[in-house]
Amino acid sequence: MSSVLDSIRAMLVPIRREGFPFIAVLAFLTVFFGWFWAPIFWIGLILTAWCVYFFRDPSRVTPLDTNLVVSPADGRISAVTVGMAPRELDIGDQTRRRISVFMSVFDCHVNRAPLAGRVARIVYRPGKFINADLDKASEDNERNGLVIESAHGPIAVVQIAGLVARRIVCFAEADKEVAAGERIGLIRFGSRVDVYLPLAANVLVSEGQTAIAGETVLARFGEDAAERRVRIC
């Protein structure tokens, strides 16, 4: 009996409370207009189910190694490059490694801290709403940046609005500690998250790879991954 209950609980993924108003409105419109014309009911039912799916907030198992950088978002690795973090974050003009994760409207949109540290500052900057999959979205789009003071120096996490996304929600608070994999925000509906790391970080992912927030390891600080494999062998 207990195993059956555990299976049911595993399937019932929690829903973020930020999604309840959208789900309620869609459900009401579905029933109201569906009463007059059946096809609208079925279309509305599909849209309501998608909205529930969009605001899901599954639990994740984050690696405990403090040298690892985990993905801040579910989605596709859209860019692995180098560049400077947004100037408003004030973490210097040095070149950093930038890893971008693009979230489609079918990905979970809860964002998580890529590593542990103190949130030194949070800076919001208004901007455009072009396709978040484009490289120039890092500079032109509306965004919310967090600077996390970690054991490996300051790193930046930037939530970027997209073509459809019009609302960036930040759960993190300045001067508060965050754990790796801890929930730090949410973006509606389809967007991108950039992570800016020191050049000392060894990137372990490539463009096109699928990432899972809080679980997929993006990079590692310390010894090079190839050197580590040789030492183990």
Highest mean pLDDT among 31-40, 148-157, 185-194: 148-157
Q: What is the CATH number of the domain that holds 185?
A: 2.70.70
Confidence of residue 20 (pLDDT cuts 50, 70, 90): confident
The mean of the pLDDT values for the chain is 81
Mean pLDDT (whole number) for 57-84: 89
Are 107 and 55 in contact, with CB atoms under 8 Å apart? no
**Where in the sequence is the domain holding 14, given as residue range(s)?**
2-54
| Average pLDDT, integer, range 172-185 | 89
Helix (H) or strand (E) run with residue 102 in it: strand 96-103
Within 8 A by CB and 6+ apart from 146, the residues are 119, 121, 122, 156, 157, 158, 159, 170, 172, 184
Q: For a pLDDT cut of 70, what percent of the chain falls above it?
A: 80
pLDDT at 164: 64
CA–CA distance from 129 to each of 144, 187, 202 (Å)?
Answer: 13, 13, 32
pLDDT band at residue 204, thresholds of 50, 70 and 90?
A: very high
Co-location of 35 and 107 in the same domain: no
Query: Pick the catalytic residue: 71, 100, 150, 191?
Result: 191
Q: 19 and 99 share a domain?
A: no
113 belongs to a structural domain: yes
Query: Which is more confident, 106 or 133?
Result: 106
Judged against a pLDDT cut of 60, whether residue 228 lies above it is answered with no
Same domain, residue pair 40 and 139: no
Query: Are both 153 and 175 inside the same structural domain?
Result: yes
Q: What is the pLDDT of residue 212?
A: 92
Q: Looking at the structure, do residues 156 and 190 belong to the same domain, yes or no? A: yes
Tell me whether residue 138 is one of the annotated catalytic residues. Answer: no
The verdict on 24 and 138 lying in the same domain is no
| 229 located within any domain | no
Q: Check whether residue 100 and residue 135 sit in a common domain.
A: yes
pTM of the model: 0.79
- The count of structural domains within the chain is 2
pLDDT computed for residue 2 by the predictor: 46
Residue 220, pLDDT > 90, answer: yes
Residue 26 lies in a domain: yes
pLDDT at 166: 64
Q: Which two tokens stand for residue 117?
A: 């540290």
